Amino acid sequence: MPKPVIGGVPRGEDLFGREELIENLWERLERDNVLLVAPRRFGKTGIMYHLLDYPQEGFRPIFINVEHILTAGDFMVELMAILLRDHHFARAVSSLWQGTKGFGRFLQNLPSSIDLGGIKVELREKTDVPEKWISYGERVMSLLSKEEPRLLLLLDEFAVMIDSISKRDSEEAKRLLHWFRSARIAPDTGTRFVIGGSINLISTLDAMRLVDTVNDLSVERLQPFALETAAAYVKAIFASRDIDLDSELADSILELVGEPVPYFLAVLLMAILDRQRAIGSPISADTIKAAFEEDLLGGATSVVFQHYRSRIDQYYPGREAQVARAILGMLSRAGRPVQHDTLYHIFLQTYRKPPSPQANDEFIQLMKKLDNDFYIVSRDGAYDFFSRVLKLWWKTHYGFQGE
């Protein structure tokens, strides 16, 4: 039975309700490479770890979180080191240094006690991988392309890495993206990639005019739980504590959360369970309400909400950020979905632009971007926040700032 995981990566049976998606991902990986996108805390890393922990026959997955990497050379060092530590791929990769004195000899006598960090240090100090990373990248990908089982490279937070590299050196980011694309589209290569990220790679690259370098990827926009999955999750979590929750109370939990983003649901369930344990009496509507208002909206989850907020300033360039904030502020205050015209008016006012077909196009583009980044949804020409919880948080913190 699953237990709620709060913040860590859910693994094994704690990763709930993603079976169908995972099956579909394996199927796609037969032919394609996948870009897995969703905002923070939807469960991307959990899914990538599932691919790592339970690989389908014929694949040998390797997982790298590339979030902290700042240069293309470092990316290659990281990749080489992890491949050299892998029992299956080490032999092929070591052949790059066959017969060489320094690093070749080191690899030949590789002490079993040396860890990944140790190999990275050696790669940095004793080889020219950091400078000649493209050439190593090309050779290693070509060496591994016929391996069986095939390499499945799971790269988490890829867009963050590209963003950091390009802020330092945009040409280097461009070269890395081009190298990476040619590795993916090499004819007959058996290697496959899953790229995960909580910022949208497509819009990051669009702003850099490099979106063509990822047009071969099969995009999976990870959704929150479906309503039935969320209901089953609530039931399973209470069952794991031997609690038979009244179905009306279970429904009220789902209503409070709105779109069931797994993390928001897990935080609320844990808070309810903690409160119930402290009080010792059965779970009541009041316990649920207090957990929602005090623990979910006011608690540790705020960091995630704050991320949605700061992401606007980081990834919506120039005045666009101000306009996006004005629109979201307005939506957070509204009791119901807001019509296109009302929001268009705010758009023009904030930009201080007269109405024109071009301004209308820009407005539609911005709304699409907000939709794509999971801030809003549109239905029948009207817009609302995507997540009820985020909307309430936004209203409390920023709704009345006159944005």
Ligand X SMILES: Nc1ncnc2c1ncn2[C@@H]1O[C@H](COP(=O)(O)OP(=O)(O)OP(=O)(O)O)[C@@H](O)[C@H]1O
Q: Residues interacting with ligand X, by CB under 6 A?
A: 5-10, 15-18, 38, 40-46, 198, 262-263, 266
Q: Is 67 helix (H, G, I), strand (E, B) or coil?
A: coil
- Distance linking the first and last C-alpha atoms of the chain: 45
Residue 260 interacts with, from ligand X, Mg ion, none (CB under 5-8 Å by kind)? none
Beta-bridge partners for 35: 195, 219
Instruction: Indicate which of Mg ion, ligand X, none lies near residue 263 (CB less than 5 to 8 Å, by partner kind).
Output: ligand X
The alpha carbon of 96 is separated from its chain's Cα centroid by a whole number of angstroms, namely 33
| DSSP label of 296 | I
Least gap, CB of 99 to ligand X (angstroms): 42
Q: Least separation, in Å, of the C-beta of 155 and Mg ion?
A: 12
- If binding is defined by CB under 5 A, does position 64 make contact with Mg ion? no
Pick what 7 binds: ligand X, Mg ion, none; C-beta below 5 to 8 Å, kind-dependent: ligand X
Nearest distance from residue 172's CB to ligand X, in Å?
A: 25
Is-cis flag, bond preceding 149, omega within 30? yes
Question: Residue 243: which of Mg ion, ligand X, none does it interact with, CB under 5 to 8 A by kind?
Answer: none
Nearer to ligand X, 10 or 61 (CB): 10
CB of 253 to ligand X, least distance (A): 15
| CB 35 within 8 Å of CB 218 | yes
- Closest to Mg ion by CB, 17 or 399: 17
Which residue has its beta carbon closest to ligand X?
A: 43
Q: Parallel, antiparallel, or unpaired for β 382-385 and 376-379?
A: antiparallel
Distance (Å, whole) CA 368 – CA 377: 9
H-type alpha helices, 293-339: 302-315, 319-333
Kindly tell me which of 18 and 174 has the beta carbon lying closer to ligand X: 18
Of 216, 252, 213, 200, give the one whose Cα is nearest residue 231. 252
Question: Binds 17, which of ligand X, Mg ion, none (CB < 5 to 8 A, cut-off by type)?
Answer: ligand X
Name the residue nearer to ligand X (CB basis): 267 or 343.
267
43 binds, among Mg ion, ligand X, none (CB under 5 to 8 A by kind): ligand X
**Nearest distance in Å: CB 159, Mg ion:** 12
| Dist. CA 134–CA 7, nearest whole Å | 36
Residue facing Mg ion at closest CB distance: 45
> Which C-beta is closer to ligand X: that of 2 or that of 104?
2
- Give least dist CB 198 to Mg ion, A: 6
Q: Which residues have a Cβ under 8 Å from the Cβ of 205 and sit 6 or more positions away? A: 162, 177, 211, 213, 214
Smaller CB distance to ligand X: residue 297 or 334?
Answer: 297
Distance CA 211, CA 170 (A): 14
Minimum CB–partner distance for residue 173 and ligand X (Å)? 21
Least distance to ligand X from the beta carbon of 222, Å? 7
Number of helices (H) and strands (E), helices first, in the chain? 19, 8
Query: Is there binding between residue 45 and Mg ion (CB under 5 A)?
Result: yes
- CA–CA dist 284, 261 (Å, integer): 23
Q: Does 191 bind Mg ion (CB under 5 A)?
A: no
Q: Cα separation of 115 and 31, whole Å?
A: 34
From ligand X, Mg ion, none, interface partner of 46 (C-beta below 5 to 8 A by class):
ligand X
Contacts with Mg ion by CB under 5 A lie at 44-45
